[in-house]
Amino acid sequence: MLTIYGVYRSRASRNYWMARELGIPFTSVPVIQARRVADPLAVDAPVNTKSPGFLSINPMGLIPAIDDDGLVLTESLANNLYLARKYGGPLAPADLGEDGQMGNWTMWAATEVEPHAVKIILAYDDGIENTPEGQARIAACAQSLEKAFSVLETHLKGRDYVVGNRFTVADLNLAEVFRYTMSQTALFDRHPHVKAWLARCQSRPCFKAMMEERLKEPE
């Protein structure tokens, strides 16, 4: 049985979406970010990323983590690549070449897109998006993302999806990273293939089901 540790309002959303796409049963163990708890080590504190019990799962104190029949993995995007390989189906690589491409695109998203995208999200989370500081941060991140958007835009010309022209774990991983940039409508308008691709990914019933659960959680 697959166990997913983490709340939907975190990178655990990626693993919850993936499990739904694969149609596999899973157990959800809500673990919230310690920064959202007044005293994360209090006796009555909810399970969080500083709770000793969770640190025995992931000593880094980060969510998500998964436990798949005793195998513990702690990196959200890598978790999904593993689940795709294990359970197979259309989301998984059909051959070694596709496996390489899926890993390559996933690492690309993690290194070239997510660092900038996260700063945009944090500006909104911190409530500074309308301040001069926040606007400067967001503008700088959007500028930094221009090249990555252009690379994906070129790749998607004549394609609906990133690898094998079908929805795969590569699309899911990238879509969850690019979701952090959705406030930047001008960036998407300049890259219509990226905009249409993300809309296709997010039109999937399993994404909508994941987001429904996410919206139930407190911000």
Note the pLDDT of residue 206: 98
Contact between 120 and 178 (Cβ < 8 Å): no
Instruction: Show which of 88, 116, 137 is a domain's final residue.
Output: 88
Q: Are residues 100 and 200 in the same domain?
A: yes
Domain count, the chain: 2
- Look at residue 94 in the predicted model and tell me its pLDDT: 97
For residue 121, pLDDT beyond 90: yes
User: Over the Cα atoms of the chain, what is R_g?
Assistant: 18
**Tally of residues, the chain:** 219
Chain centroid to CA 35: 20
On whether both 63 and 146 belong to a single domain, the answer is no
CB 6 within 8 A of CB 30: yes
User: Does 68 lie in the same domain as 27?
Assistant: yes
Is the pLDDT at 50 greater than 90? The verdict is: yes
**Mean pLDDT, residues 55-76:** 97
Say how far apart CA 169 and CA 162 lie, in whole Å.
10
The stretch 80-95 carries a mean pLDDT of: 97
Determine the pLDDT at residue 219.
82
- Given a contact cutoff of 8 angstroms between Cβ atoms, the answer to whether 106 and 77 are in contact is yes
The DSSP bridge partners found for residue 48 are: 32
Instruction: Tell whether 213 is covered by a domain.
Output: no
- For residue range 165-192, list pLDDT tens digits in order: 999 999 999 999 999 999 999 999 999 9
Same domain, 32 and 105: no
Whether 7 shows a pLDDT value over 90: the answer reads: yes
Q: Which residue among 45, 71, 88 closes a domain?
A: 88
For position 53, which CATH number holds?
A: 3.40.30.10
Instruction: Answer yes or no: do 19 and 73 share one domain.
Output: yes
In a domain, 219, yes or no: no
Q: E strands within 48-203?
A: 65-68, 71-73
Task: Measure the CA–CA gap between 21 and 3, rounded to whole angstroms.
Answer: 16
Q: Residue 188 sits in a domain of what CATH number? A: 1.20.1050.10
Say yes or no: 60 and 131 in one domain: no
Residue for token pair 């999200």: 121
Last residue of a domain, one of 37, 56, 88: 88
| Mean pLDDT for the chain overall | 96
| pLDDT over 70 percentage in the chain | 100
**Domain membership of residue 51 as a residue range:** 2-88
- 32: β partners: 48
71-73 sheet: strands from edge to edge: 26-29, 2-5, 65-68, 71-73
Do 121 and 47 share a domain, yes or no?
Answer: no
Residue 102 in any domain: the answer is: yes
Looking at the fold, whether 31 and 6 belong to one and the same domain comes out as yes
